[in-house]
A and B are shown apart, each in its own frame.
Chain A
Amino acid sequence: MATHSLQKVDHSALKTNQLIIISLNLLAFVFNSPALAAIVALAMGTGVLIKKPGFGFVYTSLLKPRGWMKPDVLDDNPEPHRFAQFVGFLFMAAGSGFLFFGTTLPGWTLVWVVVALAALNAFGGFCVGCAMYYWLTRLNVPGFSKQPPENTFPGLKPKASING
């Protein structure tokens, strides 16, 4: 059954995570480093397990305490963001796997897909993984129960819920 219990989610932590993922993946591509792509996959996988953004520690231990990035706390569901990170992890893990086995085209394509989706989220405020999560909720898939915050288009940041 779909539920509406919202929690406080700091979108600055999510944004930091996305920007680091984008940067490291671009460096991995430019320097042809499957190992760096694998590190990104590993961080995202760890994030899925501990239910936090994979590179969120950079925000919580460095950027936020020094005031370099201000918190952007919104009433939101954390589950779709975790699901989005899980989807990103799957892409990165598959991409890294291809790269280690020397299949570079699908490997780098998957890495670039993650870059594009993270950029869409970081700069456009639209989380494709979250939209997928809410779509699965609508299909009553077991394990997917959260509804988007009121007046929020599925996948958009809650404060961007102006098109109803």
Chain B
Amino acid sequence: MISDTLLRFILTVVIIGTGWFAYWLFNQRLLGKAQSQILSLVDALPDKPVIVYFTTPDCTPCKTVQRPALRKLLMLAGDSVQVIEVDATQRPELAKEWGVMSVPTTFLLDARGEARYVNNGVTRVEKLMEQLQTLSDFEI
């Protein structure tokens, strides 16, 4: 017989899992939006992975964590990746089109312009690097 605590633990995992699935669906929606919007940022696909980084001037975690992380990523990856920074206060219509609700938000697109990952909130360089390495068209 399953103990009460175990049953409650399983129920907790199921509820959190459902919440996580809802969050995943939300991210899929964001990726879908990004997919159709990449050419609003660049004239032509740059033939390498692109990170689109949404920020605002008063975003403290952007300054203290996200920007240094992206700088470090560029040092590690060199020309193999392009970072496009978007000030959401300067281009609010763009942030709206991409479905950005908070900053920092980073989108990772492969060389074909397909949106592959979206990170809501601060994302460490290790995670960005991990995501880049899953792209078949990424080479350092």
Contacts and interface: CB of A to CB of B under 8 A. Distances in A.
B50 interface: no
Interface string B1-44: 00011001101100100010001000000000000000000000
B133 interface: no
Which applies to chain B's interface (DSSP): helix, strand, loop or mixed?
helix
B100 A26 contact: no
A105 interface: no
B28 to A, nearest CB: 16
Which applies to chain A's interface (DSSP): helix, strand, loop or mixed?
mixed
A73 B60 contact: yes
Contact of A163 (B59, B101, B121): B101
A136 B96 CA distance: 26
A160 B60 contact: no
A31 B12 CA distance: 11
A29 B5 CA distance: 9
B133 to A, nearest CB: 25
B88 A162 contact: yes
B8 A162 contact: no
A125 B101 contact: yes
A30 B95 contact: no
Given A116-B19, A119-B19, A159 B9 contact: no
A162 B89 contact: yes
A31 B5 contact: yes
Contacts of B119: none
A156 B102 contact: yes
Interface in A84-126: 112, 116, 119, 123-126
B54 interface: yes
Contacts of B103: 159-160, 162
B121 to A, nearest CB: 8
A61 B101 CA distance: 32
Nearest to B102: A160
Interface in B98-140: 100-103, 120-121
A164 interface: yes
Nearest to A126: B101
Given A119-B19, A163-B92, A32 B8 contact: yes
B60 A72 contact: yes
A103 B8 CA distance: 16
Interface of A: 26, 29-32, 70-75, 112, 116, 119, 123-126, 151, 156-164
Given A32-B5, A123-B23, 13 more contacts: A29-B11, A30-B5, A30-B8, A30-B12, A71-B60, A123-B121, A124-B101, A158-B58, A159-B59, A159-B60, A162-B92, A162-B96, A162-B103
The 9 closest A-B pairs by CB, nearest first: A162-B88, A160-B102, A162-B95, A125-B102, A159-B59, A30-B8, A30-B9, A164-B92, A163-B96
